[in-house]
Amino acid sequence: MDKDRFIIIDENLKRINEDICETAVKAGRKPEDIRLMAVTKTVEPVYINHALSCGVNLIGENKVQEFLAKREELELEHCEVHLIGHLQTNKVRQIVGKVNLIQSVDSVKIAKEIGKRSVENNQITDILLEVNVAGEESKFGFQAERTAEAAYEISEINGVHICGLMSVPPVCGDGRQSRCFFSNMHRLFIDICEKRIDNVTMNVLSLGMSGDYKQAILEGSNLIRLGSAVFGDRIY
């Protein structure tokens, strides 16, 4: 256990919360409308629990097996957990019912499997549709122009409820370019919201990570996913 890392987490969270307030005001938004997710990939439970004791109430895990391995050590009584990494069909059974929301629904096939396992558990699983906003071959997600159609199709699946969209835009050295991708996602979010599709409540727009969360807030994100910005560089 590294006590210095506790101090680093404290300082990082203080700075991030100040950034959220400052950026929200700049965008004409309320700071309290923007949720901070601490992304806990490779982070040991002792440091996650410290972040929770500092007021973090939402964590995101990338891998099913990693989350399940450390779940019992986490103090999650007042904390939501989202799965944010790519979900394979054969892992759905293991994670349904273990997290509050699955952000990374990138195909109708995976949505159907989540619905099937949810019905078996007599529950409804909240999900986000993952959008490949730049059409990158290396990334998962619906093409932007296909997302509304997918929302209609998935909305009819028993056992799932669509709560919004998430995306991982390309890494851009230019903040203006990042804002363009985020702006496109916000327009798509509003467009689907205005369609008023049954079983779809567009409440969550999950955009922005450690390197670009300010730009994401400026363009309408209401959930930012921060890993290294909270915990420091990942230790593999």
Q: What residue ranges of the chain have pLDDT lower than 70?
A: 172-175, 235-236
CB 64 within 8 A of CB 96: no
> Which pair of tokens denotes residue 223?
């959930």
> Which pair of tokens denotes residue 147?
């997302």
Burial 40-70 (b: 16+ CB within 10 A, else e): bbebebebbbbbbebebebbbbbbbeebeee
How far apart are the C-alpha atoms of 210 and 219, rounded to whole Å?
16
Say what the alpha-carbon torsion angle 8, 50, 125, 195 is, to the nearest 10 degrees: -40
What residue ranges in the chain does DSSP mark as E strands? 35-39, 58-61, 80-83, 101-105, 125-132, 142-143, 160-167, 200-206, 223-226
Question: What is the model's pLDDT at position 136?
Answer: 83
Give the DSSP letter of residue 87: -
- Placement of tokens 């300082």 in the chain: 11
Question: What is the model's pLDDT at position 139?
Answer: 87
Computed over its alpha carbons, how large is the radius of gyration of the chain?
17
Domains of the chain: 3-231 (3.20.20.10)
Give the DSSP letter of residue 91: G
110-146 confidence digits (pLDDT tens): 999 999 999 999 999 999 999 998 788 888 999 999 9
Question: What is the model's pLDDT at position 74?
Answer: 98
CB atoms within 10 A of CB 143: 13
Question: What is the model's pLDDT at position 3?
Answer: 83
In Å, how far are 74, 78, 142, 146, 165 from 34, measured between CA atoms? 24, 18, 24, 27, 15
Of 216, 194, 204, 132, nearest in space to 161 by CA: 204
